[in-house]
Amino acid sequence: MTTSSENPILITAARLLAPFIQVFALYVIFHGHYSPGGGFQGGAMLAASVLLLRLSLGTKTAQLNFKRVWGTPLGSIGAMIFAGTGLLTLFFGGRFLEYHFLPIPDLSRGELHSTGILFVEIGVGLAVMATLVAIYDDIVEGTSED
């Protein structure tokens, strides 16, 4: 599972598909305000593109795309972005996750809420993506390292 299949059709198809999946995943995350989608869905698609490269190129080559050691730290950064947004509003006089207390000047109350939702979606997307990749890496870690 960790070695490359060395099948040119598989490798070429996966390398062609992965960037488009990633772009569409970013679209799903950032367009979640206007269309179906959001952090969870976009994060799962980002993880799918990374895992596609992991499965087709082999774990060793795919390290160039997303290193194994990044998984768990990036996941915690995503969770911290979410909790940090809540704590930021707490420090600036609001309640936890009360977005219109975010310290961004020249924005109306509704726009501040919109920005807060964007921060939260980015945090969720990062946490879901990194955690799914990290779980896959943990599971395949022991299999036939060469």
Q: Which spans of this chain sit near other proteins (rule: CB under 8 A)?
A: 32-36, 38-40, 69, 71-72, 75-76, 78-79, 82-83, 86, 96-97, 99, 108, 110-111, 113-114, 116-117, 120-121, 123-124, 127-128, 130-132, 134-135, 138-139, 141-142
H or E, element range at 146: none
Measured from the CB atom, the residue of 39 and 58 that comes closer to other proteins is: 39
Residue 46 near residue 23, CB atoms below 8 Å: no
CB of 86 to other proteins, least distance (A): 7
- Tell me how many helices (H) and strands (E) the chain has: 5, 0
Measured from the CB atom, the residue of 48 and 97 that comes closer to other proteins is: 97
Identify the CA nearest to 125 among candidates 32, 36, 57. 32
Measured from the CB atom, the residue of 18 and 28 that comes closer to other proteins is: 28
CB of 98 to other proteins, least distance (A): 9
Q: What is the dihedral of CA 22, 82, 37, 109, to 10 degrees?
A: -120
φ, ψ for residue 63 (rounded to 5)? -60, -25
CB of 71 to other proteins, least distance (A): 7
